[in-house]
Amino acid sequence: MQFPEHSVSRRSILAAGVAAATAVALDSSRATAATVPPASAAETGWVNATLHRMTLEEKVGQLFTTRVYGETADTTDPDAVSMNQSFLGVDNAAQAVARYHLGGFVYFAYAGNTRAPEQVAGLSNGIQRVALDQPSEVPLLLSIDQEGGAVVRLGPPATQFPGNMALAAGRSVPDAGTAAGISGQELRSVGVNQNLAPVADVNINPANPVIGVRSFGESPELAADMVAAQVRAYQDAGVAATLKHFPGHGDTAVDSHTGLPVISHSREELDQIDLPPFRAAIAAGADSIMTAHIVVPALDPSGDPATLSYPILTGLLREELGYDGVVVTDSLGMAGVRNKYGDERVPVLALKAGVDVLVNPPKMKVAYDAVLAAVRNGELTERRINESVTRVLRLKWRRGIVHSPFVDTAAVAGTVGTPDHLAVAQRITDRTTTLLRDEPGALPLGPAGKVLVTGWDDSAAPITTAALGRALTERGLTVDVLSTGAKPSQARINAAVAAALSHDTTVVLTNRAAGDSGQQKLVKALLASGARVVTVAVRDPYDLMYFPEAPTYLTTYAFNEVSMRSLAGVLTGAIQPAGRLPVTIPDPADPGTPLFPFGAGLTTV
């Protein structure tokens, strides 16, 4: 499909395309019933028999997915045990399954779950073995946030991709599907059977602090097609896809981890902007959809976040959009869902609203006991619990988890990060780097000169600048690297300016410069020094708003190694820039006017 390349500011998005958006919605609605396969006799038999033999405690447990600390299911590591005792009241994953009859776990790097692919596979097998030893004999959903780009939990040697906004810059729906397919294969090989991706939010707010490059951009049509392609690819690989964050988190300047955003869109605007990707994903047969901790007055004037809103989850998602898959919450530890009600009320209210799976409650025992109590006192019926458990069991059957709960740890190396996968990821990424300005004589960088790579980097270590330095060196350049860290001090800025004056070209990296005056000062100081400067936003392309005078400007949408290799190719002329903006960069002097419109990019393709 060809996508219109024109200036699409937030204002124009809100005003344009009612007929087109309605057509997308109608097409998706018509396709929904046809793309959700009917239950087989074997599936129905297993689901009904399993539900019949489960106790109420086991049923309630199926509605919870939580994090757990440790590299193995039965870890005795003192630090992991201490964290698990604080969070879950047990020592490890094995004890958590036995105590709460859990439906799943979600893996995190910070929890020690994803140190290496073979270790993840062992953890998954250990957890599934414990689950199948329980009386209910139900395998678990093992989930992860592997969006690509800025949000990944399973790092190298797993194949890395540049993320959604970069894929959208490449404008290739097949590439988006290929990226999801490879990620899905690698996740399934280590026992992960649910990915909390793709992000379906349409990012039309440059100040969005939590979505940004996680989105496919500001075009509802482009996002819808790419989301649908990824849903199909993940699920073809045996991994349940999870759309997030319903009904759309793309137009907010508040992070729901720390506050409660309000989306002020009218119902017409929601239909034009936010809902098309969800409609398309439902039509593609998405296994699960994640709720957003956002208030949407046009859908529910109560002030409740969508996660707790019956009009949004049951009225809109279930009844109007016809969705009968699994609805999961975003983390219940986030401020956006905790501020209005206590932790013991949130899981009950979420289930009453239409949720099926409760993710990461702040205190597992409090949440689990609250749901049990609500059933026993009649606030929730067991029939309502059965509805959600049926959806969860159905998903586990359809994704092959019931028949194949275990993975072959010896086969992991033959799937994860293979040369073929890495080569495909590099080719896809090479089509995403976007060149917006090119000062005459600045590019390509020639092998005769000296290049300084400086600017933003991880606060713990100079990972990104070092990766770009290596990639440029491999292409024959003489390169020095001077990281200024995540928030450069005046001393580091001065050092970078001094170093720039002794190099022929300085490549300065920025990352979310909107939130850091030090990065803004660094770029401006380099530009004022008289040195030749190439500025690169390695996350949000909107950084240019804070130094619009930059004469040469590129954006990669991601700061991982695969993105830095592509950037090095473009900088040296070995790769022709092919990416086009999937968002509008507003003019800081006149936000209603684009500095660079949707579709901008100096390309030869």
Q: Tell me which residues are annotated as active site.
A: 257, 330
**By the 8 A CB rule, do 307 and 329 touch?**
yes
CA distance 326 to 391: 6
CA distance 605 to 601: 10
CA distance 517 to 186: 39
3-state secondary structure of 577: coil
Token readout for 550 is 């930059």
Work out whether the CA dihedral 439, 441, 444, 447 comes out positive or negative.
Answer: negative
Residue 323: name the closest of 23, 29, 22 by CA. Answer: 29
Tell me: cis bond preceding 247? Omega within 30 of 0 counts. Answer: yes
Token readout for 462 is 């100079």
**By the 8 A CB rule, do 8 and 14 touch?**
no
Q: Parallel, antiparallel, or unpaired: how do β-strands 553-555 and 434-437 relate?
A: antiparallel
Token readout for 489 is 């001090």
- 213: which DSSP letter? G
**Across the strands, what pairs with 241?**
195
Tell me: cis bond preceding 586? Omega within 30 of 0 counts. Answer: no
- 271: which DSSP letter? I
Tell me: cis bond preceding 297? Omega within 30 of 0 counts. Answer: no
**Across the strands, what pairs with 262?**
295
CA distance 308 to 225: 29
Question: How would you write 217-256 as a 3-class SS string?
Answer: CCCHHHHHHHHHHHHHHHHHCCCEEEEEEECCCCCCCCCC
**Across the strands, what pairs with 358?**
64
CA distance 528 to 131: 62
Q: Say which residues have a Cβ less than 8 Å from residue 387's Cβ, sequence separation at least 6.
A: none
**By the 8 A CB rule, do 579 and 168 touch?**
no
Residue 526: name the closest of 548, 507, 542, 539 by CA. Answer: 507
Cα 34 from chain centroid (whole Å): 28
Residue 543 has, within 13 A of its CA and on its CB side, a CA count of 32
Token readout for 478 is 């003489």
**By the 8 A CB rule, do 454 and 518 touch?**
no
3-state secondary structure of 509: strand
Neighbours of 42 (CB within 10 A): 11
**By the 8 A CB rule, do 187 and 393 touch?**
no
Q: Say which residues have a Cβ less than 8 Å from residue 135's Cβ, sequence separation at least 6.
A: 53, 58
Work out whether the CA dihedral 570, 572, 575, 576 comes out positive or negative.
Answer: positive
**By the 8 A CB rule, do 595 and 544 touch?**
yes
| Helix or strand holding residue 369 (H, E) | helix 364-376
